[in-house]
């Protein structure tokens, strides 16, 4: 990054062994360009989609193991099987309920269970299912 002119290293007054990293003007401009590009992409993705189309009756957040795919740091391996200890959250009609979930096999449907182990009955309507890192989910509200 220093060779590309994105940062400089400056000595700190309290210890001659240390240097602080300072972003350059070029880096700050680059940050603005990236943010502008992200906002433009988001705008294009949502163009023509109404807020009504983005409404869901059921939101399900499932915690699972997500890790880099062997030999590729970009592609992620997502554990789709869950199990009796796989945690999640079911959000509908303004309420959030902790759940567990599982999937018996590759071609079997996801199953969701309430705190008593009973299969969860989803409310009628569109559903959104999200997978997130195990132990890294905080649902508020």
In this prediction, what percent of the chain has a pLDDT beyond 90?
A: 35
Please report the pLDDT score of residue 97 as a whole number: 92
What is the spatial distance between Cα 91 and Cα 51, in angstroms, rounded to a whole number?
A: 18
This prediction has a pTM of 0.61
Residues 130/60, Cβ–Cβ less than 8 Å: yes
**Which SS3 state, helix, strand or coil, does residue 21 take?**
strand
Provide the pLDDT confidence category of residue 18 given band limits of 50, 70 and 90: confident
Residues sharing a CB contact under 8 Å with residue 110, sequence separation 6 or more, in sequence order: 62, 82, 101, 102, 103, 129
- Joined together, the tokens standing for residue 40 give 């433009």
- Joined together, the tokens standing for residue 127 give 């559903």
Please report the pLDDT score of residue 7 as a whole number: 87
pLDDT in tens, 111-141: 999 999 999 999 999 999 999 988 887 777 6
């Amino acid at each position: 990054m220093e060779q590309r002119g994105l940062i400089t290293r400056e000595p700190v007054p309290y210890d001659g062994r240390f240097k602080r990293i300072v972003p350059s003007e070029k880096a700050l401009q680059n940050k603005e360009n990236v943010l502008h590009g992200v906002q433009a992409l988001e705008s294009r993705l949502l163009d023509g989609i109404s807020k009504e189309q983005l409404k869901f009756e059921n939101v399900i957040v499932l915690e699972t193991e997500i890790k880099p795919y062997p030999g590729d740091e970009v592609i992620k391996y997502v554990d789709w099987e869950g199990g009796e200890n796989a945690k999640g959250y079911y959000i509908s009609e303004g309420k959030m309920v902790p759940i567990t979930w599982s999937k018996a096999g590759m071609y079997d449907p996801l199953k969701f269970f309430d705190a008593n182990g009973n299969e969860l009955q989803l409310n009628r309507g569109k559903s959104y299912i999200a997978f997130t890192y195990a132990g890294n989910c905080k649902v508020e509200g």
